[in-house]
Amino acid sequence: MNSVKLRSRVGADGVLNLKVPVGVTNAEVEVVVVFQLVERVQTPKTPEERGWPVGFFEQTAGSIPNFFEFDRYEGLDLALDDDVVLDFDQTDDQQQAP
């Protein structure tokens, strides 16, 4: 028994026409057809289609007035951990490199 997997399109009349080369001539064959509907690739939904109000992101992005800046190391006791590496500190490996 041989199997062939292919993708085809059903016509507007609802009939699937298949032309499958099987490599056999003048012989009787038994055919089993199993079909599975192929799901179409969905385009990404808009925010409105996902339930967000129209213009929500345009109206809210950057809308927090006087957004504070903070020091990420404020309150950090560096004496508690000898392995703390700050953003611009060099590691031992970087210091030893020629």
Distance of alpha carbon 7 from alpha carbon 53, whole angstroms: 40
Residue 54 contacts residue 48 (beta carbons within 8 Å): yes
User: Model pTM greater than 0.75?
Assistant: no
Distance of alpha carbon 74 from alpha carbon 70, whole angstroms: 8
Residue 85 contacts residue 91 (beta carbons within 8 Å): yes
Name the E strands within 25-83: none
Cα angle for residues 56, 59, 63 (degrees, 5° grid): 125
Amino acid 45: pLDDT:
84
**For 67-81, how does the pLDDT look when each residue is reduced to its tens digit (9 = 90+)?**
666 666 677 676 776
